[in-house]
Structure 1
Amino acid sequence: MLVAAAVCPCPPLLVPAVAGGAAPEMDAARAACADALGVLAAARPDRLVVVGPAGQDSPGGIRPHPQGAAGSFRGFGVDVDVVLGAAAPEERPARELPVSLAVGAWLLASVGWSAAPVTGLGVGERFAAERCIHAGQEIAGQSDRLALLVMGDASACRTVKAPGYLDKRAAGFDEEVARALETADVPALKALDAELAYELKAAGRAPWQVLAGAAEGAALGGALLYEDAPYGVGYLVATWS
């Protein structure tokens, strides 16, 4: 059963070494993420699953990652490695964490997470809504006290300098996602338009719908801790508890 969830953005810029001189611009987002992780720890889960987009190279399905799976930000020009959770497996997994889960692993390490074992789940960007929801239902049924750290950005089309340029639909899409996260509106997350989200480069759509499936019947309340689009990309931090 889902007892708590934290929703965080997943830009590598959250990692100060990656952000470089722009690191202070993300301080408010980092602080909100730390607060959200505090809510997860306070819920005393027996398991934490970090869910995030698996990237455009994913075939569109779901890929589990065990505790101890490794990730890296070397592709962004910095010598920073991360491990998912506190304990490494006996054999190093051959598959590296996608960037979203590496950011999640970095966030957990930054607060010294030790409240529960951690595993990861990468979700393909085009994974169908109904399959995301079903995956969330399955995850919630596997633990008595489950917590989710849900990584994902909103639209990347908020300004002309955004990665996806300006799309007038982006602000409205992000507003609806923010409202749904703030009010823990499960039906609204389930109803997100997957094709529109893809057009707006909203990488968080599939992970948010995994959250919606896991939260069915949990009767959690929501809180929105952060909302901004500093680089033309919507970043949201929320908690459900």
Structure 2
Amino acid sequence: MSLTAAVVVPAAPALLPGIGGTADPLADLRERAAALVADTATAKGADRLVVVGSGTTTRVWPGDAPSGAARFTTGRVPEGALPTDLEIGRLLVPSGGGETLLHSVAADASPQECAALGATLAAGPSTLLVVVADGPATLTEKAPGHLQPDAAPFAEGLACALAAADTTALAALDPATCDRLWMRGRAALQVLAAATDGLAGELVAEESPFGVQYLLARWG
């Protein structure tokens, strides 16, 4: 496999400047995520950096695609705007490096389709994979999906899988369960599972400020 390392960062829209208002509630998390990506890129020296996040379709996006952040404000989104996950990833990757590829995976892609994409990405040049993904958004009554009793143990299992670089656990994520728990990151994490093999895992941070599980992890 040519994937040298991977970083998992949250898919929180409020990571985009201006979306969270003047309070900028996720400023610290944004700084930590950007630092983690930059430090890993420097340490691993991969030939390219690939950002993977959920979208409506599975495709490659141009690096200069317009911002779609207006979907959270005015609603006037330009044609060809990046999916939110990829826009977050583009924000967090260091500028001036080597080749950067922005690749969405359809949010409803089957585990088999995700595995195929992961294998394709792993077959290319040495790669640092940046995976933009959240855990469940049903951890509290005020969470976007409200409270689901099994969300907390699910989130604990997901954190353990990322800490251990457990590709088997990620590959086994059930799409129906993830949809019920409002877990946006299932498809992207299953791409990660298929693209990597034999890497050591590290859970750098975990928090749930809005009833949504945000994770920072590094595999390498």
TM over 0.5: yes
The answer for the alignment partner of 1:204 in structure 2 is: 185
- Determine if the alignment matches structure 1 residue 214 to structure 2 residue 215: no
Residue identity in the other structure for 1:142: G
The count of aligned residue pairs is: 216
Q: Distance in 2 between matches of 1:100 and 1:135?
A: 17
RMSD: 1.9
1:70 is paired with a residue of what secondary structure? coil
- Once the two structures are superposed, residues 128-168 of structure 1 have per-residue CA deviations (whole angstroms, 9 ceiling, x without a partner) of 1121011101111021x111110011101000001100001
Question: Which stretches in structure 2 are left out of the alignment for 5+ residues?
Answer: none
1:39 is paired with a residue of what secondary structure? helix
Query: Which of 119, 137, 156 is matched with 1:156 structurally?
Result: 137
Contact 1:41–1:115 (CA under 8 A) maintained in structure 2: no
Residue identity in the other structure for 2:35: D
Query: Which of 91, 104, 108 is matched with 1:106 structurally?
Result: 91
Question: Which stretches in structure 1 are left out of the alignment for 5+ residues?
Answer: 82-92
The answer for the alignment partner of 2:33 in structure 1 is: 33
- Determine if the alignment matches structure 1 residue 177 to structure 2 residue 169: no
Superposition map of 1:39-188 within 5 A? 39-54=40-55, 58=56, 61-77=57-73, 95-108=80-93, 112-143=94-125, 145-188=126-169
The answer for the alignment partner of 2:217 in structure 1 is: 238
Q: TM-score, normalised by structure 1?
A: 0.84
Q: Distance in 1 between matches of 2:218 and 2:147?
A: 29
Query: Which of 205, 219, 225 is matched with 2:204 structurally?
Result: 225
The answer for the alignment partner of 1:192 in structure 2 is: 173
Q: Distance in 2 between matches of 1:186 and 1:100?
A: 21
Q: TM-score, normalised by structure 2?
A: 0.91
Identical-pair percentage: 36
How far does residue 94 in structure 1 lie from its aligned partner after superposition? 5.8
2:139 is paired with a residue of what secondary structure? coil
Moved over 4 A (4+): none
1:105 is paired with a residue of what secondary structure? helix
Residue identity in the other structure for 1:228: E
